[in-house]
C-alpha cells in the first residue's frame, strides 16, 4: 500500500503499518511521558492494548486514561485534566474515534489553563483568552475514518447541565503529528465503519455547500466525497480491504480540513438529536442527509450538478440526491429518524437547539426554526 508523509494541514504519516512510527512521532512532538487518552469502549480492545504494550516495550513511560463517554461530557475532561496534571505527563496521545480524539485534545489544551473550560467555547475571539504556553503537545492516532478530528483545531464536548454540545477551539489544539494507519480501523464494527464514513461524507458535502469563497476547501471536499462514495461500500463488503480503508481515512482528514469553510443543517440537527438521544453522530448525519439536501436545493442546485458530473453521474441535482439515497440503502442506514429510535417528543426543543447550533450559520439557506422543523418532520416521516 502507498505510504506518504504530508505536511498539510499538519504533519501526517499515512499508510498501513505507520503506527510503528509512534515513538518517533512523540519525539518529534517533544513528548517524553505521554498520557494516552481514549474512550472507555476502545480502551480494552486489542488495538489499544497492543499500542500501549509496544510503547512500553520501547521504554516509553505511557499511561492510559479512558473515562470517556461516547458523547464526551465535561466531567470526562475534568477527570482527565486532573490525571494529566497530577501524573507529571508532558503530552497527550489522542487515540480513537471522535470522542477519544476530541476529549484528548481538550485535555491537552486545558493542561495549563487557569480559567474554566467553557471560557474557551468557540465564540468570537474567546480562544485568545487561553495561555498558549499551557497547551500540551498532541500526537493524534485515529482508529476510525470519519471525524477527521486528528487534523482539527477543536473538540466537541457535551455540557451535561444543559445537554448541549459545545465546541472548544484553539489553533494550537491541532495535533503536532498524526499517524493515519488504516490497519487500526479494521476491527471496527460495521455500524461504526458506516457511521464514521458517513460523517466524513457529511463534512465534505456540507463544506462544499456552505456559502462563501473558499476554492481550496471546495476542491478538497469534492475529492473527499468521491473517495467515500467509491470506498465505503467496498469496506462494508470486505472489512479487510486496507487500500479502501486508507482512502476513507484520507477522506476523513479531508472533510475536517474542508469544513473550516462551514458546516450546515445536517450537523445543526444532528447535534441536538445526538445530545438528547445519545445517537451515533455520523449515523445521525447519514439519516438527515437527503432531507437537508432537498430543503437546501434552491441554493445549491447548480453546485451539486457540477459535483454529480465529477462523480460520473448525470450532471443534475436529482442524480446526486438519488446516489445519496442509494448509498444509504446499500449501507443499511435507517431511512427515517423513527427507524433510528428517535421519537417526536423533543421536536420543539430540537428546533430551538438546531438554530443556535454553531454549525447552523453555514447552511446555504437560512436555517430558520420553521425550516429546521420541516427537515425534522421530513426525516421522521421519510419524506424526501
Ligand atoms: Fe461531524
> Tell me, what's the pLDDT at 284?
98
**Ligand 1 centroid to residue 48 C-alpha, Å:** 23
Closest CA to 96 of 26, 192, 23: 192
- Classify burial at 83, counting beta carbons within 10 Å of its beta carbon; exposed 0-12, middle 13-18, buried 19 or more: middle
Closest CA to 177 of 375, 3, 24, 52: 24
What secondary structure does DSSP assign to 277-317, as a single string?
H---HHHHHHHHHHHHHHHHHHHHHHHHHHHHHHTTS-SSH
pLDDT for 328-358, tens place per residue? 999 999 999 999 999 999 999 999 999 999 8
For residue 42 the three cell numbers come to: 476502545
Stated pTM of the model: 0.95
pLDDT for 151-197, tens place per residue? 999 999 999 998 888 999 999 999 999 999 999 999 899 999 999 99
> Tell me, what's the pLDDT at 2?
86
> Tell me, what's the pLDDT at 258?
97
Return d(Cα 286, Cα 324) in angstroms, integer: 9
**Ligand 1 centroid to residue 68 C-alpha, Å:** 18
Q: Is the CB of residue 53 less than 8 Å from the CB of residue 45? A: no
Residue bearing cell 461500500 = 233
What secondary structure does DSSP assign to 175-244, as a single string?
-SEEEE-GGGGTTS-HHHHHHHHHHHHHHHHHHHHS-S--HHHHHHHHHHHHHHHHHHHHHHH-TT-HHH
**Ligand 1 centroid to residue 255 C-alpha, Å:** 9
Q: What is the mean pLDDT of residues 214-222?
A: 97
Return d(Cα 148, Cα 27) in angstroms, integer: 23
Closest CA to 249 of 282, 227, 220: 227
Whether 289 shows a pLDDT value over 90: the answer reads yes
Return d(Cα 198, Cα 236) in angstroms, integer: 12
Average pLDDT along the chain = 96
What secondary structure does DSSP assign to 28-58, as a single string?
HHT-SSEEEE--HHHHTSHHHHHHHHHHHHT
pLDDT for 94-128, tens place per residue? 999 999 999 999 999 999 999 999 999 999 999 99
**Ligand 1 centroid to residue 200 C-alpha, Å:** 7
pLDDT for 354-372, tens place per residue? 999 989 999 999 999 999 9
Whether 303 shows a pLDDT value over 90: the answer reads yes
Q: Count other Cβ atoms within 10 Å, centred on residue 266.
A: 30
**Ligand 1 centroid to residue 286 C-alpha, Å:** 10
**Ligand 1 centroid to residue 196 C-alpha, Å:** 8
**Ligand 1 centroid to residue 156 C-alpha, Å:** 10
**Confidence class of residue 7 from pLDDT cuts 50, 70 and 90?**
confident
Whether 1 shows a pLDDT value over 90: the answer reads no
Return d(Cα 4, Cα 180) in angstroms, integer: 10
**Ligand 1 centroid to residue 249 C-alpha, Å:** 14
Tell me the torsion sign for CA atoms 271, 273, 277, 281: negative
> Tell me, what's the pLDDT at 376?
98
**Ligand 1 centroid to residue 33 C-alpha, Å:** 31
**Confidence class of residue 263 from pLDDT cuts 50, 70 and 90?**
very high
**Confidence class of residue 325 from pLDDT cuts 50, 70 and 90?**
very high
Q: Is the CB of residue 146 less than 8 Å from the CB of residue 254? A: no
- Classify burial at 59, counting beta carbons within 10 Å of its beta carbon; exposed 0-12, middle 13-18, buried 19 or more: exposed
Q: What is the mean pLDDT of residues 139-145?
A: 97
**Ligand 1 centroid to residue 279 C-alpha, Å:** 13
CATH numbers and ranges of domains, the chain: 4-184 (3.40.50.1970), 188-381 (1.20.1090.10)
140 strand-pairing partners? 94, 178
**Ligand 1 centroid to residue 219 C-alpha, Å:** 19
The values of phi and psi at residue 322, to 5°, are: -65, -40
**Ligand 1 centroid to residue 360 C-alpha, Å:** 13
> Tell me, what's the pLDDT at 275?
86
**Ligand 1 centroid to residue 193 C-alpha, Å:** 14
Residue bearing cell 416521516 = 381
> Tell me, what's the pLDDT at 70?
83
> Tell me, what's the pLDDT at 163?
83
CB-based contacts of 105, cutoff 8 Å, min separation 6:
92, 94, 138, 140, 149, 152, 154, 155, 173, 175
Residue bearing cell 485535555 = 107
The values of phi and psi at residue 321, to 5°, are: -60, -45
**Ligand 1 centroid to residue 268 C-alpha, Å:** 10
For residue 252 the three cell numbers come to: 476523513
**Ligand 1 centroid to residue 55 C-alpha, Å:** 31
Amino acid at each position: 500500500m502507498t505510504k506518504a508523509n504530508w505536511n498539510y494541514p499538519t504533519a501526517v504519516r499515512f499508510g498501513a503499518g505507520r503506527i510503528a512510527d509512534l515513538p518517533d512521532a512523540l519525539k518529534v512532538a517533544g513528548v517524553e511521558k505521554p498520557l494516552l487518552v481514549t474512550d472507555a469502549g476502545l480502551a480494552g480492545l486489542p488495538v489499544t492494548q497492543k499500542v500501549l504494550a509496544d510503547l512500553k516495550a520501547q521504554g516509553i513511560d505511557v499511561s492510559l486514561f479512558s473515562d470517556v463517554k461516547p458523547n464526551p461530557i465535561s466531567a470526562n475532561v475534568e477527570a482527565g485534566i486532573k490525571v494529566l496534571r497530577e501524573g507529571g505527563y508532558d503530552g497527550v496521545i489522542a487515540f480513537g474515534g471522535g470522542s477519544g480524539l476530541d476529549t484528548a485534545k481538550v485535555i491537552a489544551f486545558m493542561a495549563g489553563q487557569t480559567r474554566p473550560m467553557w471560557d474557551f467555547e468557540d465564540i468570537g475571539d474567546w480562544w485568545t483568552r487561553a495561555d498558549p504556553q499551557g497547551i500540551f503537545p498532541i500526537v493524534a492516532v485515529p482508529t476510525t475514518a470519519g471525524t477527521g478530528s486528528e487534523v482539527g483545531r477543536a473538540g466537541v464536548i457535551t455540557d451535561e447541565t444543559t445537554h448541549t454540545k459545545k465546541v472548544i477551539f484553539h489553533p494550537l489544539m491541532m495535533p503536532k503529528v498524526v499517524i493515519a494507519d488504516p490497519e487500526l480501523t479494521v476491527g471496527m464494527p460495521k455500524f461504526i465503519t458506516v457511521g464514521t464514513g458517513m460523517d466524513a461524507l457529511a463534512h465534505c458535502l456540507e463544506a462544499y455547500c456552505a456559502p462563501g469563497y473558499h476554492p481550496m476547501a471546495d476542491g478538497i471536499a469534492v475529492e473527499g466525497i468521491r473517495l467515500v462514495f467509491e470506498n465505503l461500500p467496498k469496506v462494508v463488503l470486505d472489512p479487510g480491504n486496507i487500500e479502501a480503508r486508507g482512502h476513507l481515512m484520507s477522506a476523513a482528514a479531508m472533510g475536517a480540513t474542508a469544513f473550516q469553510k462551514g458546516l450546515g443543517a445536517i450537523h445543526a440537527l444532528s447535534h441536538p438529536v445526538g445530545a438528547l438521544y445519545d445517537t451515533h453522530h455520523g449515523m445521525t448525519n447519514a439519516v438527515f442527509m437527503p432531507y437537508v439536501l432537498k430543503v437546501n436545493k434552491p441554493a445549491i442546485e447548480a453546485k451539486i450538478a457540477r459535483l454529480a458530473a465529477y462523480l460520473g453521474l448525470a450532471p443534475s441535482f436529482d442524480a446526486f440526491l438519488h446516489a445519496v439515497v442509494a448509498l444509504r440503502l446499500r449501507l443499511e442506514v435507517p431511512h427515517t429518524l423513527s427507524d433510528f429510535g428517535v421519537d417526536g417528543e423533543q421536536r420543539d426543543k430540537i428546533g430551538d437547539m438546531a438554530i443556535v447550533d454553531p454549525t447552523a450559520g453555514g447552511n446555504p439557506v437560512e436555517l430558520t426554526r420553521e425550516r429546521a422543523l420541516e427537515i425534522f418532520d421530513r426525516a421522521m416521516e421519510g419524506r424526501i
